[in-house]
Amino acid sequence: MPCSRRAFVASIAATASSRLLGQAAEPQPTTIDSHVHVWTSDPRFPFAAGANVPAGIDATVETLLKRMDANRVARTVLIQVSHYRTDNRYLVDCLKRFPRRFSGVCRVDPESPDAPDKLTYWTEQGCHGVRLSPAADASGDWIRGPLMPALWKRCEQLRVPMTLLLTAVRLPDVAPLIEQHPELTVVIDHMADSPIDDPAALAKLLALARYPRVFVKITHLWSLSRQQHPFADTYAMVARVRDAFGSQRIMGGTDWPIKPELASYEQRLAIYRQELPFLNAQERADVLSRTAERVWPSGI
């Protein structure tokens, strides 16, 4: 009996100890996906003329919500897909139906003089930010044109972020606009798609770290990589971006459902949750949610 009693007491002590350890364990960081696109074949939201909509992809917001719930994604930032161009009605519909789950970034025509007023309108409809996409060739020279200051100023006045989809060659063109609007939050999509073997392109991105309100999405690793998942040949570049900007100004995102043949939604999430071994626990929490929360706060 004494031996049995000692074993019983030891068992109780071990159970209590394990419970205490469980209480002290750090919980799984929240995930906010900073970059997703949605679209639907609903005739209420027609695609723009000439839109190249990929066949066979279910990109509705309802499907996205199922993926989010299955993968413990708390919130997602919806980026207006190019299939609709500047008609943001489906985006707004999603925001209004599921306000706790989404923030939204609209598009406006940057070559139209009424772009600032359009931005105001879409912001009043629930959008929080605008995305501009200047091409690398001459067709994107409007980023240096006379209409930009008014649009950037309106963005600053509305206190919504300016999101830029552009290649590294265009980064010097936006630096003067960033300098002229120091209170404006600017987000660079996909690390400006800097190739992993082009240090000069990456240097243009890292140069923007001197502006404290510039943030970077460390996304498109699957497109930039020459390997299979988990795309480890891109990690050195991501580490340099982290070193330059700090973890509080970088964020992850899946770009779902674009190019699903390169990586699944789950594989893309796993990169930020389990890979990138140079991130410590606090930095990983920034990448997974805290940076996105700073740029797109919940409850707005």
The answer, yes or no, to whether residue 8 has pLDDT greater than 90, is no
pLDDT digits (tens, 9 = 90+) for 109-156: 999 999 999 999 999 999 999 999 999 999 999 999 999 999 999 999
Burial class (CB in 10 A: 0-12, 13-18, 19+), 208: buried
Domains of the chain: 30-295 (3.20.20.140)
Strand order in the sheet with 102-107: 32-36, 75-79, 102-107, 130-132, 162-164, 186-188, 214-217, 250-251
What is the reported pLDDT for 299? 77
DSSP state of 143: G
Average pLDDT over residues 16-41: 70
Closest CA to 152 of 125, 134, 169: 134
The answer, yes or no, to whether residue 1 has pLDDT greater than 50, is no
Burial class (CB in 10 A: 0-12, 13-18, 19+), 4: exposed
d(CA 266, CA 209): 30
pLDDT digits (tens, 9 = 90+) for 63-72: 999 999 999 9
Check: CB of residue 35 under 8 Å from CB of residue 76.
Answer: no
The neighbour count for residue 285, using CB atoms within 10 Å, is 18
